[in-house]
Amino acid sequence: WAQDCQVDNIQVMQNFNRTKYAGTWYAVAKKDPVGLFLLDNIVAQFNIAEDGQMTATAEGRVIILQQWELCAHMFATFEDTYDPAKFKMKYWGAAANLQTGYDDHWVISTDYDNYAVHYACREKGYDGTCIDSYSFVFSRHPTGLRPEDQYIVTQKKQEICLLGKYRRVHTINFFC
């Protein structure tokens, strides 16, 4: 069978609950976009304000100006869309030389307590498939995914047409 890799047909988390999603997530795997930014030691913290607005901070190891290794402190605000699991993310860095941008931010799957699969397509091709995506696999545990969560995560990687495109990222071996 032919896999449907149309971005518009990607299934996201049903009945996404941002309050249960709030808190700390450790990146354990990442599919990089063109112009890779965050390398590893990536920790995201999602917050829900009283009015329901979602914001996040993240830190991670980056290399800027081709040689300077540092810990980037990043901020994001999320705009809601028609789908509760699909956001637009506006982000910027604590320092001026860090990336800024406006990306999709889709929650593909999560059990809220252990794992989450995130997806962002930055550029769609004429055929409707993604030509520049990035994706994070997050864990609530800095030690990585639990064995029992591997199956669903692998399945979701395949559903978003990114199976085999991830690298493992370290969570705990750097000063960030």
Binding site for ligand ODT (CB under 6 A): 32-33, 36-38, 44, 56-58, 74-76, 91, 99, 118, 134, 136
Location of structure tokens 């030690």: 143
> Shortest Cβ distance from residue 1 to ligand ODT (Å)?
31
Q: Under a CB-based contact definition with an 8 Å cutoff, are residues 137 and 149 in contact?
A: no
> Shortest Cβ distance from residue 69 to ligand ODT (Å)?
15
Sign of CA dihedral 176, 75, 47, 163: negative
- Which residue lies nearer to ligand ODT by CB, 31 or 144? 31
Compute the distance between CA of residue 127 and CA of residue 74 in angstroms, rounded to an integer.
33
- Which residue lies nearer to ligand ODT by CB, 75 or 112? 75
> Shortest Cβ distance from residue 152 to ligand ODT (Å)?
19
Location of structure tokens 């190891």: 61
